[in-house]
Structure 1
Amino acid sequence: MTTITPIALHTPSGDELKSARLAAGLSQVDAAELMGYPVQAGSRGGLQSRTWQALESAHDPRNMPAPIFALFQLLTDQHRELTLILKNH
C-alpha cells in the first residue's frame, strides 16, 4: 500500500506570485503559457495574459490556487521542500 504524505500549500498574494515569476526569469506571458493560462494579442501589439495580470494585481480579488502555485514553484525549481525529477522511460 502506498503512503501519501501531505504537503503544506498556501495561496500566494499577487506580490508573492510576481516575485516568484521574476525569480524564474519569466515574463507574464511566459509564465501564463507555462501554466496553461490564456494569452492573447495586446492592444499595442505583442502578447499579454490578462489572467496572469489579474493574479499579480493587488486590486483584483483573484489569487492563484495553492496547488497551482505549488506546481509553478516545482516547474521553476523554487519550491522550498520538493523538486521534480524526470522518470526514466
Structure 2
Amino acid sequence: MNIRIEMSAPSGDELKSVRVKAGLSQVEAATLMGYPVQSGSRGGQQSRTWQALESTTDPRTMPGPVFAMFQLLTGSHPRFSLRIKEPSSD
C-alpha cells in the first residue's frame, strides 16, 4: 500500500492555528516536539525556537515532515490519524 502524506512547511500563522486548536501552549507544543524550552525573563518557561517558528517575520520554518508529525500527534491532520497497534499474536 502506498500512502502519500502532504508534508509542506507551515507558515507561522498556520502552525500557531494548529497549536491553539490543539489547546497547547507554546511550551507544551515545543516539549511535545522536542524543541528546547528555557526559563523566561519573567519566570515560567518559554521556547524561543517555537516563538520563531510561529513568527511572521522570522525566516525559520518548521520542516514539513515535522509539521505532519505535529498534526498527527495533536489529532489535527486533515487526512490521517494515529492509532495504537493491536499486539501481534506471534
TM-score bin (small chain): over 0.9
Matches for 1:20-35 after TM superposition, within 5 Å: 20-35=18-33
Deviations 1:53-88 (A, max 9, x none): 000001100000000000000001010110000112
Moved over 6 A (4+): none
Where structure 2 has 5 or more consecutive residues not aligned to the other structure, the ranges are: none
Where structure 1 has 5 or more consecutive residues not aligned to the other structure, the ranges are: none
Q: Give the drift of 1:4.
A: 3.4
User: Given the alignment of the two structures, is residue 68 of structure 1 paired with residue 66 of structure 2, yes or no?
Assistant: yes
- Pairwise CA RMSD: 0.9
Which residue in the other structure is 1:51 paired with?
Answer: 49
Identity percentage over the alignment?
Answer: 64
Deviations 1:22-67 (A, max 9, x none): 0000000000000000000001100000000000001100000000
Q: What CA distance in whole angstroms lies between the structure 2 residues aligned with 1:52 and 1:41?
A: 14
Q: Give the drift of 1:5.
A: 2.4
Q: What CA distance in whole angstroms lies between the structure 1 residues aligned with 2:69 and 2:3?
A: 16
